[in-house]
Chains A and B, each alone.
Chain A
Amino acid sequence: MLILKCPNCGQRNVSEFRNGGEYRPRPSRPLDADDQQWSNYVFFRHNVSGLQKEWWYHRNGCGLWFLAERHTKTNEILSTFRWGPDRTE
């Protein structure tokens, strides 16, 4: 079982968390997106073999949605951090 570091609560078993899938920023003006762009956002995932930025939610804890950089092959977690408009791109 993975250990994940919640930015609020510290190291916890992954069973306390819910995974929210890979990080996909929502187009800021959805109505300006053409069908291709929009379907890329809604339906497609990169499913990388390597480093992935992904969402986690501390469900049985503080209730924070945060981001983690995880290696999908080794499950090594390089960092976890809070979302911020300037920190995620």
Chain B
Amino acid sequence: MSNTLLFVIVIGATLMLVIGGAVTIAITLYRANRLIVSEVVLPHLEKVMGARLPSQPVELINRKEEMRFTFEGNEYSAFKGDTIASALAASGIKIFSRSFKYHRPRGLLCCSGHCPNCLVQIGDEPNVRACRQRVAPDMIVKPQNVTPTLMWDLLAPIMRFLSPFMPVGFYYKTLYRPKWIWKVAEPLLRAAGGLGKASHSESPEDTFDKQYLHGDVVVIGGGPTGISAALSAAGSDAKVLLIDENDQLGGYLRIKAEAKDVVDELCASVYAHPNIQTLTETTVTGCYDHNWLAATHGDRLYKIRADKVVLATGVVERPLVFDNNDLPGVMLGSAAQYLLHLYAVRPGRRAVVVTANDDGWDVAADLHAAGIEVVALADERERAACSSAKMESLEAELPVFWRHIVTSAHGNTAVNAATIAPLESDGSLTTRRTRLECDLLLVSIGWTPNTGLAYQAGVEFGYDEDRAELMARNMPDDFIIAGRAAGTHMLEHQITEGALAGRRMASAAGYGDAPTTSEWTFVQEEKKREVTRSSQRTIVKGSSKRFLCYCEDVTDKDLTTAVAEGYDSIELLKRYSTISMGPCQGKMCSMNAVHLCAHANTSTVDETGSTTTRPPMTPISLGALAGQNMEPVRITPIHDWHLGQGAKMMVAGLWLRPEHYGNPTEEVRAVRERVGVIDVSTLGKYKLTGPHVPNILEKVYTNRWRQLAVGRVRYGVMCNAEGIVIDDGVTARFDEREWYMTTTSGGAGAIYEWIQWWMQSGWGDGVQLINRSDDFAAFNLAGPKARTLLKELTDIQLDNKEFPYMHVRSGVVAEVPCRLLRIGFTGELSYEIHCPASYGQHLWEQLLQAGEQFGIMPFGVEAQRVLRLEKGHLIIGQDTDALSNPIAANLEWAVKLEKDDFLGQRSLLRVVENGLKQRLIGFKVNETGPTPEEGLQIVSINSNSKQRKIIGWVSSCRFSPTLNQVIGLCWLPTEIADVDGAEFIIWREERALTAHVHHGAFYDSNGAQLRS
């Protein structure tokens, strides 16, 4: 019994397996057969026979010039004038790319440079729009995001399986726990999705550059409206720039054979007009403040200063969202017209046209005339709503389905059928379905005005429910929208509106008379009576995937889910779902997304609003933004000499300065033992004249200046209102009225502006402040032999009695008129010699020549840093930051709080009142060993818990060849800094380094050398 049962079960199971297997195989074979016939055999036939039509009246191709190029390794032919897309379509190619996320096959959709479906890689340039890029001979074109080929993408079935688990934002929800999962998943996700591959080469194949352009009236868009606006503005004598992203003017009229003569005539007048400059193949990517436009033309970025702007950017055809609406073979009606008329390419053999406006009838008529079988023309409207002139003739020849809409496209890698359904009187779908075999499904249901630039210019839009279009609510004085972008669809209205807009902007720019209000109102009223061009319908619900966003594979279901999750405002929805953030920048999806969002929230489209459109309107290569690699640097008058001596140059602010000439330690020794000279031409150098110079000095410096005698020099510190040190330097007094101020190299520009600011807002007092920084070269001659050396070149009395420390003298050195300041940043006897920049090199060479017998060495910034550190001198910006006040920075001696009002005084009084917490102080490292890097932390270590607490930081540190010890400056809590010899810990590479506080200069602490 049990054996029999077992037997039956085994037999039954076997039979079921066999039958199941057979059915599966049968279904697979059936599918494969259909796949093979419809998607392999037919395209192959197309490849052999070609999809090129006989000559068309307005075609752009030159059939006499043929060239070859490759796509995915296969060779194809193209005529001159063909785009990559048209040439491939002519060879029967249906699949152009694989989609961003799911690797679904994608074909031509818009054919007008907006959608992401035909993006290809050419050489090192990713994301080139194949429908815009003309074929060049031997061009190597590759598809993007394919693993490994367009036809057989391994990720496509995997993604189809995974897609239910990958709703919008799935990785936010799933890939955060455990923590390591994101690290594992991220590279996989990044590898699986994406676009083309950017070049990492430092020398890209292209040369990018920039150009500036100007126009009284800049017309964006070269269709009938734009041309009309340009001609009328130019007729008023305004200088006009006419910009179009196509390589020919004419806009949508280019595809109309009957308009050929009109277009040719209009273009001829534009090109002949002396006031119009035309830029084709130029895309305006942004409209910035005060009509500052950015546009790209190949590898060139235009920066355009437009006085007034006419926006005539037209419309973008709006896709309908229905089941499998992304299958190759589903196209916008206008796309088929572009292929047909401009490139004589048959977009398919059997077409279904779905429409909701008269434009769709034109599409059907064009296909029919070209000999393409139109198996159905489904119009969403009642027959009475149609006003197409072609209606009656087409009705007689084509199967027309009134009140029908498409519900689904069918096929695996290309369309092989479409299902249409009749509509109830309220617009909802009935249950009846008609399936139509076809390989082309064209959709013409509405238009989205191309108004992104207007949003950027400050125009606000409202949604006109009757017309299902966005209309401008306001218009700035220097910007106007006209033509289809403003909802004007009829040619005669476009021409009139364009002309009026052109005249209006020309007049606003100061050329000619503006149109009268009645003229303007008349055309506005006329265009309001035009028939509706757009359907209210955006989504047809079904059972498969329906794509709103082609760029990043976002479906209507994704968006509905996102709204349900609370991302219910259009701006949040955008950020969460990435809709409108891809290469099309919302041109394909934003209107549909707004409709969906409104519907999901049961609010109106107008209340929902739309997302802010920011530049760039279309993707722009970073190379175009960067332009040529130009990095200006400042060089001193003896730059070439430094280079000739093999100096290692360093960047110091905008300057290039010698860091050293090979051996900074030897340079330090030369200065300490003999004599050295450094190029300090980078210092800020200002001339101040007038009887009241001391007044301004008293205000901007923290110390006293009124008593400074003629012929003397004084060091001073500058603070801002917060009491923070912003600069230091010396100022000399030549005579009663003339003073000479020097600032740090870094502050040379800013301090001039700073003092000017105060002088121009009430503290001027008749003082003249002149920036002489570039006029003078300056060299610091330092070392015990400096005086002896200088005596050989000048008659100026140099003896200590005649020319003591902190004094200034004018005179001739090496036949050059000079100013000598006896100061001592390095801590040695030194003369800072300032001479006219043009004599700089001569003087420099004379000093070196005369110094040869004393063993002179030129020294660089590095040696100077060591020398000043040995002397305990700080460098503003190195040892101080935006929180350092002069009292804490060990400059208390230069702050006279009791003097009259000066910048920083009020704040510093409070600092003194509250007491210091930290202080800048010198230190020596206890042990010999590594030199702590600048910026290292100073810590205190809790002896029990071993926990470290940051209590300070190292601001300067060097090995001193003079002391044979590591010395530095650091910020420390006052209780440590105040005790000479107090020990503290510098934390370096996970180890404690002990150092101790050192009060006073490390070298020559009583200043004997300075004054010698």
Q: Which of A1, A2, A42, A85 contacts B722 (CB 8 A)?
A: A42
Which residue, of B289, B907, B910, has the highest number of chain A Cβ atoms within 10 A?
Answer: B289
With A30-B901, A31-B906, A38-B907 in contact, is A83–B753 under 8 Å at CB?
no
CA distance A65 to B758 in the complex (A): 9
Task: Summarize B's interface: helix, strand, loop or mixed.
Answer: helix
Q: Is the pair B906, A38 in contact by a Cβ cutoff of 8 Å?
A: yes
Q: Is B23 an interface residue (CB 8 A)?
A: no
B458 / chain A contacts, CB cutoff of 8 Å: 74
Q: Is the pair B907, A42 in contact by a Cβ cutoff of 8 Å?
A: yes
B288 / chain A contacts, CB cutoff of 8 Å: 1
With A38-B906, A38-B907, A74-B458 in contact, is A31–B901 under 8 Å at CB?
yes
B901 / chain A contacts, CB cutoff of 8 Å: 29-31
CA distance A1 to B304 in the complex (A): 10
Q: Is the pair A30, B906 in contact by a Cβ cutoff of 8 Å?
A: yes
Q: Is the pair B905, A30 in contact by a Cβ cutoff of 8 Å?
A: yes
CB distance from A11 to the nearest CB of B (A): 10
CB distance from B511 to the nearest CB of A (A): 17
CA distance A13 to B753 in the complex (A): 19
Q: Is B1009 an interface residue (CB 8 A)?
A: no
Q: Is B292 an interface residue (CB 8 A)?
A: yes
B762 to chain A: closest residue by CB: A85
CB distance from A13 to the nearest CB of B (A): 7
CB distance from B291 to the nearest CB of A (A): 9
CA distance A46 to B104 in the complex (A): 53
Q: Is the pair B760, A1 in contact by a Cβ cutoff of 8 Å?
A: no
Q: Is the pair B905, A64 in contact by a Cβ cutoff of 8 Å?
A: no
B722 / chain A contacts, CB cutoff of 8 Å: 42-43
B761 / chain A contacts, CB cutoff of 8 Å: 65, 83
CB distance from B756 to the nearest CB of A (A): 6
B292 / chain A contacts, CB cutoff of 8 Å: 1-2
CB distance from B5 to the nearest CB of A (A): 84
Q: Is A81 an interface residue (CB 8 A)?
A: no
A41 / chain B contacts, CB cutoff of 8 Å: 721
Q: Is the pair B906, A65 in contact by a Cβ cutoff of 8 Å?
A: no
CB distance from B91 to the nearest CB of A (A): 46
Which residue, of A20, A65, A83, has the highest number of chain B Cβ atoms within 10 A?
Answer: A65
Q: Is the pair B721, A75 in contact by a Cβ cutoff of 8 Å?
A: no
Q: Is the pair B910, A75 in contact by a Cβ cutoff of 8 Å?
A: no
CB distance from B898 to the nearest CB of A (A): 11
Q: What is the size, in residues, of chain B's interface with A at 8 Å between Cβ atoms?
A: 20
Q: Is B290 an interface residue (CB 8 A)?
A: yes
Q: What is the size, in residues, of chain A's interface with B at 8 Å between Cβ atoms?
A: 26
A3 / chain B contacts, CB cutoff of 8 Å: 290, 305
CA distance A31 to B721 in the complex (A): 12
A31 / chain B contacts, CB cutoff of 8 Å: 901, 905-906, 909
Q: Is B757 an interface residue (CB 8 A)?
A: yes
Q: Is A59 an interface residue (CB 8 A)?
A: yes
B910 / chain A contacts, CB cutoff of 8 Å: 35, 38
Q: Is A78 an interface residue (CB 8 A)?
A: no
A63 / chain B contacts, CB cutoff of 8 Å: 756
CB distance from A35 to the nearest CB of B (A): 7
Q: Which of B757, B905, B909 contacts A57 (CB 8 A)?
A: B757
B760 / chain A contacts, CB cutoff of 8 Å: 64-65, 83
CB distance from B497 to the nearest CB of A (A): 26
CB distance from B794 to the nearest CB of A (A): 35
Q: Scan residues 371-397 of chain B and give those whose CB is less than 8 A from a CB of chain A.
A: none
Q: Is the pair B756, A65 in contact by a Cβ cutoff of 8 Å?
A: yes
CA distance A26 to B909 in the complex (A): 17
B753 / chain A contacts, CB cutoff of 8 Å: 18, 57, 59
B721 / chain A contacts, CB cutoff of 8 Å: 26, 41-42
B290 / chain A contacts, CB cutoff of 8 Å: 1-3, 75
Q: Is the pair B757, A65 in contact by a Cβ cutoff of 8 Å?
A: yes
CB distance from A64 to the nearest CB of B (A): 7
CA distance A38 to B756 in the complex (A): 23
With A20-B757, A59-B753, A63-B756 in contact, is A75–B906 under 8 Å at CB?
no
Q: Scan residues 59-76 of chain A and give those whose CB is less than 8 A from a CB of chain B.
A: 59, 63-65, 74-75
Which chain A residues have a beta carbon within 8 Å of chain B's beta carbons?
1-3, 13, 18, 20, 26, 29-31, 33, 35, 38, 41-43, 55, 57, 59, 63-65, 74-75, 83, 85
Can you give 18 A-B contacts (C-beta < 8 A)?
A1-B288, A1-B292, A2-B292, A18-B753, A26-B721, A29-B901, A30-B906, A33-B906, A41-B721, A42-B721, A42-B722, A42-B907, A57-B757, A59-B753, A64-B760, A65-B756, A65-B757, A65-B760
Beyond A1-B292, A42-B722: 15 further Cβ-contacts under 8 Å?
Answer: A1-B289, A18-B753, A26-B721, A31-B906, A31-B909, A38-B907, A38-B910, A42-B721, A42-B907, A57-B753, A65-B757, A75-B289, A83-B760, A83-B761, A83-B762
Q: Which 10 A-B pairs give the minimum distances between C-beta atoms?
A: A30-B906, A1-B292, A65-B760, A75-B289, A3-B290, A83-B761, A2-B289, A65-B757, A42-B721, A42-B722
